[in-house]
Amino acid sequence: MKKLIPISSRDDILPEYFNTPIGLLLEYHNLLRPHASYPKAELLIGMCMDNRKYLKIPANFSYIIRTGGANLRHSEFQTSYAIAVGQVRHIALIGHNKCGMVNLISKKEQFVNGLSEGAGWDKEKAEIHFSQFAPMFEIGNETDFVLSETKRLRLRYPKIKIAPMLYLVEDNKLYLLKED
Identify which of residues 12 and 50 has a Cβ nearer to Zn ion in the complex.
Answer: 50
* Residue 138 binds Zn ion (CB under 5 A): no
Candidates 9-17, 25-33, 50-58, 130-138: pick the segment binding Zn ion (CB under 5 A): 50-58
Among positions 99, 126, 162, 176, the unique one binding Zn ion when judged by CB under 5 A: 99
Q: How far is the CB of 67 from Zn ion (least distance, A)?
A: 9
SS (H, E, C) the chain: CCCEEECCCHHHCCCCCCCCHHHHHHHHHHHCCCCCCCCCCCEEEEEECCCCCCCCCCCCCEEEEEEHHHCCCCCHHHHHHHHHCCCCCEEEEEEECCCCCCCHHHHHHHHHHHHHHHHCCCHHHHHHHHHHHHHHHCCCCHHHHHHHHHHHHHHHCCCCEEEEEEEECCCCEEEEECCC
Among positions 7, 13, 43, 48, the unique one binding Zn ion when judged by CB under 5 A: 48
Among positions 12, 50, 127, 138, the unique one binding Zn ion when judged by CB under 5 A: 50
**Could you list the residues that contact Zn ion (CB under 5 A)?**
48, 50, 99
